[in-house]
Amino acid sequence: MAVQRIGICINICLFGVCNSGKSSFINTCATALQDGERQVELATVGSSSESLTTRLREYKISSKDNKHLISMYDCRGMDDTRGVTTKDLISIVKGHIRSNYEINSEKAISEESDFYRQVPQIEDIMHCVVFVIDAEVPNEKLLSDHCLEQFKEVETVLEAEDIPVLAIVCKTDTLPIGEKNRLQDIFHSKSVEIKCRAVAEKLQIPLKNVLPMSNYFKEPLPTDEKDVLALNCLKEMTLRAADRLKQVYRYNNL
Ligand SMILES: Nc1nc2c(ncn2[C@@H]2O[C@H](COP(=O)(O)OP(=O)(O)O)[C@@H](O)[C@H]2O)c(=O)[nH]1
Ligand SMILES: [Mg+2]
């Protein structure tokens, strides 16, 4: 694949409100790629509506043979109060903010900050942006007005920069999934489809860009069903990111 030839890692950024499942998604993807007998815990999972993550954090996701494949970025939630500012979200997307920066909900990063990268390179920008949505939230409350406004502003930048955007709907296990309530029926479940449609409509993105997900949250050991869901998300995210990278490299004649 072209990305392997280029030799840079794919950067995927996760945005969403606190408690939507971002940290659990990172752990679930890391677990699925390891294909081992235990769950990987890179990110700390929260249990309250207060954001645990206040820094921009890079999590390196590796294959079983320890090749660093993807960097996933987690950041402070897009919460109505004490959330990340829209300006910082845009700076993150454009690769201006270095990992470990303590995100201030009151004001955006200063260009004088040591964490501010003046001239981001292709390996610093986000190659795919993922909005994480909680399936447990009723359709009419999926995103607050504030959140939706932030999404729209970020999406305008993503469109201009040709950066792909996906939505991942976590916690679909809380919806009724067919008669037997089996995770492998997720792609045929009416209630999951309705939820994904509601997300697509709210964000005004195509339904094919909305992926159902169920993270590890109580299982003692990895399961094929959850690994498959994570691998499906990883496939979509990396294919789109790779398209974006190929485009840039073609454009730069490299
Ligand atoms: N039922 C269910 N619970 C989940 C899922 N993903 C996360 N959780 C739970 O939701 C809460 C918040 O998850 P976390 O990953 O910390 O969300 P974050 O704040 O967006 O990083 C935790 O109690 C998780 O165990 C999921 O897919 N299904
Ligand atoms: Mg978190």
Pocket around ligand 1: residues whose beta carbon is below 6 Å from it? 16, 18-24, 45-47, 170-171, 173-174, 214-215, 217
User: Measuring from atom 28 of ligand 1, which residue has the nearest CA?
Assistant: 171
Q: At which residue do the structure tokens 């001239």 appear?
A: 119
In tens, the pLDDT along 140-185 reads 899 999 999 999 999 999 999 999 999 999 999 999 886 677 777 8
Distance 179 CA to ligand 2 centre (A): 32
Q: Averaged over 43-51, what is the pLDDT?
A: 71
Whole-angstrom Cα distance, residue 42 to residue 20?
A: 17
Q: What is the pLDDT of residue 113?
A: 97
Average pLDDT over residues 8-30: 93
Euclidean distance between CA atoms 15 and 89, whole angstroms: 8
> Quick one: average pLDDT of 127-131?
96
| pLDDT computed for residue 133 by the predictor | 96
The domain locations on the chain are 2-251
pLDDT at position 92 is 97
Q: Is the pLDDT of residue 12 over 70?
A: yes
Q: How far is CA 103 from CA 4, 22, 51, 164, in A?
A: 32, 17, 11, 24
| DSSP state at residue 143 | S
pLDDT digits (tens, 9 = 90+) for 69-123: 999 999 888 877 888 999 999 999 999 999 999 999 899 999 999 999 999 999 9
Taking the CA of residue 26 as reference, the ligand 1 atom at the shortest distance is 15
**Whether pLDDT at 246 is above 90:** no
Residue of 212, 216, 218, 217 whose CA lies nearest to 233: 212
Q: What is the mean pLDDT of the chain?
A: 90
pLDDT of residue 1: 44
Residues near ion ligand 2 (CB < 5 Å) are 22-23, 53
Structure confidence at residue 36 (pLDDT)? 82
74 CA: nearest ligand 1 atom:
21
Quick one: fold of 2-251?
Rossmann fold (3.40.50)
Which percentage of the chain shows pLDDT scores above 90? 69
Give the mean pLDDT of 196-224: 95
